[in-house]
Amino acid sequence: MKESVIRSLEKIDLESETLCKLSDAVWENPETAFAEYRSADLICKALTDFGFSVTRPAAGIETAFSGRFGSGKPVIGILGEFDALSGLSQQAGVAEKKPLNPGGAGHGCGHNLLGVGSLAAALAVKEYLEREKCSGTVVYYGCPGEEGGSGKAFMARDGVFDELDCAVTWHPWDINGASYEESLANYQIAYRFKGISSHAAASPHLGRSALDAVELMNVGVQFLREHVIDSARIHYAITDAGGFSPNVVQPQAEVLYLIRAPKNRQVQEIFERVNKIARGAALMTETTMEYDFIKSCSNMIPNYRLCRLLHEKMSEIAPPTYTADEVTFAEAIQKSFENSANPYEDQLGRYAKEDADFLKAQFGKPLFDFIAPLAQRIGDLGGSTDVGDVSWVCPTAQILTTTKAALTPAHSWQQTAQGKSGIAHKGMLYAGKVMAAAAIELIASPRIVEEAKREHRESLGGEAYRCAIPKDVRPRAIAPK
């Protein structure tokens, strides 16, 4: 690695205490989608203090923002998140379930680390641009509402990422590696039915049940599941059952649907079929139906060239090592979910045989301290991420780094408990260095940028990005009514 890059990465070490305290402060102020006011304030202040030009809000979203440094091409984006999850409040540093605020939010997906790790990367790139006085721009994006809100999709819809040549990001995980994976596109829609209330015993014939309409819609969708592609997923939750009085014909009811499929166009096709079922349920019950399109997110367009670059930088920068106390803590966390399956077993077929054998030999460790080989074939993330929307706009790739005990479930109290640990801090700073080194390489080597762009065009196959969210739909806070 060049001396100029090493000196730039040293900036992360020099500011490590400040960065870890900032991550802890975000952890201590868990806020859910589009309500991350305190977290956004904290990160924006840090960006300003570090000399970035901060723009807030972005795309009209109060908790979305950007921090910019440099000028000219290439423009490299580094994506940060900072939203928490409801119901995952938990004390830090303990291996048993102990909510700080029962029922409250908590950082059960590590986004306190994600946002600050990306800031660390942007800081090191800024250091490089200042010293080398070369053409290039780094933009840190504060992206709210990833959990169920698809903040990046709203930002992409409004053109926030259009100037980018490439984007990189990361996610706290239990392993170190470049993520060469696809994700599922999705739509989230609320279906609301209106009927007529009536006494359910004395005059049921005068009532028109909105709850009946919801139930008939759910039955119709259940039969639809046999007739969609195997990889599609259709989830639902009844969010308004019409009240608590069974002796009243319920005059209103609502059901929330989340439709997923591997490609945007497949989600659109299923959405249109679900709409027909909803209209049919309203017709059968003589109620009225309207739907409320809440959000969408696109499938991920993997970029092998960027993944390869990130993997190279991971290999050049030594991953963290752990103290005896950190290993002991990881082992204690593991005991709280001893029956967890190993999700990596099913992914071994993506790797060359020697790489698969290497991975299998590592699976018994309490902490995955190795760097996973770069997969030969695209994998299936199995979920959705709004990073997918950015990946339609420009070449995009992400890494995972070890911030928790091996096989810790995501979206769990166990992950919240580890969010302020030395393990988490080390993984966060490591991620910052790897992303920074990759971004600096992109700035110094326009050829790699062009190679990534060429692959991106080929992957899109002539398709253009189209955000499914209607222009008049705005992001909304996601919280229980």
**DSSP 3-state percent helix, strand, coil across the chain (nearest 5):** 40, 20, 40
Q: 339 and 309 in one domain?
A: yes
8 A C-beta contact, residue 137 and residue 36: no
Write out the DSSP string of 436-472: HHHHHHHHH-HHHHHHHHHHHHHHHTT------S-TT
Q: In this predicted structure, what is the pLDDT of residue 477?
A: 83
Write out the DSSP string of 151-191: HHHHHHHTTTTTT-SEEEEEEEESSBEEE-EE--EEEEEEE
State mean pLDDT over 320-340: 93
pLDDT cut 70: percent of the chain above it: 99
pLDDT of 178 above 90: yes
pLDDT of 339 above 70: no
328: CB partners within 8 A, 6+ apart:
none
8 A C-beta contact, residue 381 and residue 420: no
Q: In this predicted structure, what is the pLDDT of residue 332?
A: 97
Tens digit of each residue's pLDDT (9 = 90 or more) over 254-283 = 999 999 999 999 999 999 999 999 999 999
Residue 474, in any domain of the structure: no
Which residue bears the tokens 């801090």?
425
- Give the bridge partners for 76, in sequence order: 138, 166
Q: In this predicted structure, what is the pLDDT of residue 56?
A: 97
Residue 468, in any domain of the structure: no
Q: 385 and 241 in one domain?
A: no
Residue 249, in any domain of the structure: yes
pLDDT of 441 above 80: yes
pTM comes to 0.95
Residue 471, in any domain of the structure: no
Q: 313 and 231 in one domain?
A: no
CB atoms under 10 Å from CB of 6, counted, come to: 12
Tens digit of each residue's pLDDT (9 = 90 or more) over 210-240 = 999 999 999 999 999 999 999 999 999 999 9
**What is d(CA 330, CA 124) in angstroms, rounded to the nearest whole number?**
30
Domain boundary among 297, 320, 336: 297
pLDDT-based confidence at residue 479 (cuts at 50, 70, 90)? low
- CATH, residue 273: 3.30.70.360
| Structure-model confidence comparison of residues 248 and 342, the more confident one | 248
Q: 305 and 293 in one domain?
A: no
pLDDT of 478 above 70: no
Cβ burial of 205 (10 Å; 0-12, 13-18, 19+) is exposed
Tens digit of each residue's pLDDT (9 = 90 or more) over 26-48 = 999 999 999 999 999 999 999 99
Q: In this predicted structure, what is the pLDDT of residue 481?
A: 45
**Any idea what DSSP says for residue 106?**
B
- CATH, residue 110: 3.40.630.10
What does the mean pLDDT of the chain come to?
96
Tens digit of each residue's pLDDT (9 = 90 or more) over 73-132 = 999 999 999 999 999 999 999 999 999 999 999 999 999 999 999 999 999 999 999 999
Could you tell me the residue range of the domain that residue 372 belongs to?
3-181+300-460
Residue 223, in any domain of the structure: yes
Q: 147 and 197 in one domain?
A: no
Domain boundary among 297, 316, 347: 297
Number of compact structural domains in the chain: 2
Which residue bears the tokens 């698809």?
150
Q: 451 and 304 in one domain?
A: yes
8 A C-beta contact, residue 273 and residue 455: no
Residue 168, in any domain of the structure: yes
Q: In this predicted structure, what is the pLDDT of residue 381?
A: 82
Q: 168 and 314 in one domain?
A: yes
pLDDT-based confidence at residue 382 (cuts at 50, 70, 90)? confident
Tens digit of each residue's pLDDT (9 = 90 or more) over 202-218 = 999 999 999 999 999 99
Q: 192 and 173 in one domain?
A: no
Q: 376 and 317 in one domain?
A: yes
Q: 278 and 425 in one domain?
A: no
Residue 469, in any domain of the structure: no
Q: 447 and 395 in one domain?
A: yes
Residue 473, in any domain of the structure: no
Q: 249 and 138 in one domain?
A: no
